[in-house]
Amino acid sequence: MTKQSLKRSDLHRKFVEKDATAEFWHNSPSNTLPPPDMLSPYSRNKPLKTEDIENRKAHIIGAGIAGLAAAFYLIRDGHMPAENIFIFTSEDVEGGSLDGAGNVQEGYIVRGGREMNWNYDNLWDMFQDVPAVELPTGFSVLDEYRLLNDHDSNYSKARLLHKNGQIKDFSNFGLSKRHQWELISLLLKRKEELDDITVESYFSSSFLETNFWTFWRTMFAFQNWHSVLEMKLYMHRFLDAIDGLNDMSALVFPKYNQYETFVEPLTKMLKEQGVNFIRNQRICDLEIQDNTDAKTITGLITATGEVLAVDECDLVFALTGSMTEGTAYGDMDTVPELQRTQGYPGTNSDWVLWKNLAEKSTVFGNPNTFVGDTSRSMWESATLTCHHSPLVDKLISLSVNDPFSGKTATGGICTITDSNWLMSCTINRQPHFRNQPDDVLVVWVYALLMDKQGNKVHKTMPECTGKEILEELCHHLGLEDQFELIAENTKVRTALMPYITAEFMPRAKGDRPRIVPEGFTNLGLVGQFVETNNDVVFTMESSVRTARVAVYSLLNLSKVVPDISPTQYDVRNMLKGARALNNGKPFIGERLLHRLLDKTYYAHILPPLPEPEESKLESLEAEIKQLPAKLSVMYRSVSDQVHRLRDKIINKK
């Protein structure tokens, strides 16, 4: 490839991976494309075949959702014959982190679950074309998802618990004006200002004690020492969902576990189309031909040193890092034995490929940023297989519907705020597994703080057996005196994951590689540890996005991958978000907006005022009286910023 053609390829990759924050978009004769974050039926265009696509092959390293998505888009949009696609996995089952296994005799297990959002645009773009699990032929996974969630609303009546299982008030965020300003300031900051900054170093210590932070950290699994840049990206991505953060009403959940809902139907479709799956084969390195003008992958190097040849016109898609690599498992009587501790996890891990690539070139980023300290990226989950007991009765009382009805149960996690481990538990729709008996409940438990001793069991969670974790949960639910009966009717399987939140570690520009590394002609990197323009990590959506960008870029398809949904720019979301951050109360100036807009076409964009009609005028007058003082503070703040800017300009001169 010549320098000129490589430059064209780099320009095409910018065409594919849109960045809505890069510039002001407007209609003009030179702009033939829709806005960079628009997704609509207009985006369903099918690109033409790439020349000679029938004779090209694709080698995909990793059979998680990113690898499976790469195969999907190669076939649907890239027109590559399915039999020319080879997916390698070091495991003996597909799905990567999206697991779900077990039976009623041994106990079920899921390492984690999926809290989904309606604007996961790439995920739903794919699953609208994947055949349904249970509906008749012609229906899709998306059709099943909508049919379920459109008729069964999700919400929680017990988001926070304390004092032996009592429901704690979770009606508002508990944010002071200072805390609100800290959050707004974070939204306003440019991304490049937040390199290597942690949440706890950015926010005041009192912010970390608020309901908002409890909701946030337990829902998304953030720690105080994690990246505030990633928190900012999350706030933009989910701004439309902020008002449903406390009661979980912004979420949509699958009918079954993540493996049976997503992985099984997608894998089944790909296999039926002819995609080749190679299990128990770890790819440890890539053979790179480095020409003056471009770099090309020419071979895959296995754990035994064998080189699998790659033609220069073939494509390689590689997973960098793994959140669930090195998971240690335990059960009712066994403590999980962690093999991965501090430092590099070793040559027999799923991090070895990224490490070896990073040693060859800085374009591959720095895996040590994410993988070096497991004490800061680890948490543990436990899956409870429950026959009837007082525990089941207690959890039913915390659910919005009877879990045995198949409808929404707890609506998401119930967090125990006075737990030293910061423990949470949830019942998803039941049955959670298709082979689950009708009289059995599957309950998922997890905790964030791995270095604290329990309140009842004086051990850290990683030091505990499944039975001891169950005992700690029963203590917090006020069931301590019935524990033995509960234990007789419950099986516990645990999963201790040393890298589960490694993707949240503080990072700087260059720590993560771009999806198509600079100068490479046939390599795409996918998963949770690659750089996207504005998307977040720890979601299925981001994995699918990286795969889609990689496929379109390497095949030079005339089709774009839109940036994240533009809901953050919708004034309605801004207004209801401001109300939510103000603990559900009208923010300063909101009543004045109502006075201006209530009798106009735009009245509906404002959240309804809480007071009755007859007292609205009185409340407005009180608000207007406060405005001069508030505006004075704002004026001083803006004035200070203008003076600082002036001083900067003078100093530069």
Of 73, 108, 234, 499, the active-site residue reads 234
Pairing relationship of beta strands 85-88 and 276-278 according to DSSP bridges: parallel
Residues 523 and 286 sit within 8 Å (Cβ to Cβ): yes
Which residue among 94, 115, 471, 623 is the active-site one? 115
Residue 38 CB neighbour total at 10 angstroms: 18
Rg of the chain on CA atoms, in Å:
26
Rounded Cα distance between 469 and 560, Å, is 48
Catalytic: 42? no
Q: Which two tokens stand for residue 196?
A: 């290597």
Give the separation between CA 228 and CA 191, rounded to whole angstroms: 10
Give phi and psi for 525, each to the nearest 5. -105, 135
Rounded Cα distance, 416 and 424, in Å? 6
Is residue 145 flagged as an active site residue?
A: no
Longest dimension (CA), the chain: 80
Q: Is 435 exposed, middle or buried (0-12, 13-18, 19+ CB in 10 A)?
A: exposed
- Helix, strand and coil content of the chain, in percent to the nearest 5, comes to 40, 15, 45
Find out whether 96 and 64 touch, Cβ atoms under 8 Å: yes
In whole angstroms, give the CA distance from residue 355 to residue 38.
36
Residue 208, CA distances (Å) to 184, 222, 421, 621 in order: 16, 11, 16, 35
Given a contact cutoff of 8 angstroms between Cβ atoms, the answer to whether 20 and 563 are in contact is: yes
For the stretch 623-633, what's the b/e string if a residue is b when 16 or more beta carbons lie within 10 angstroms of its beta carbon? beeeeeeeeee
CA distance 285 to 415: 42
Length reported for the chain: 653
Give bridge partners of residue 561 from the DSSP assignment. Answer: 17
Report the catalytic residues: 115, 234
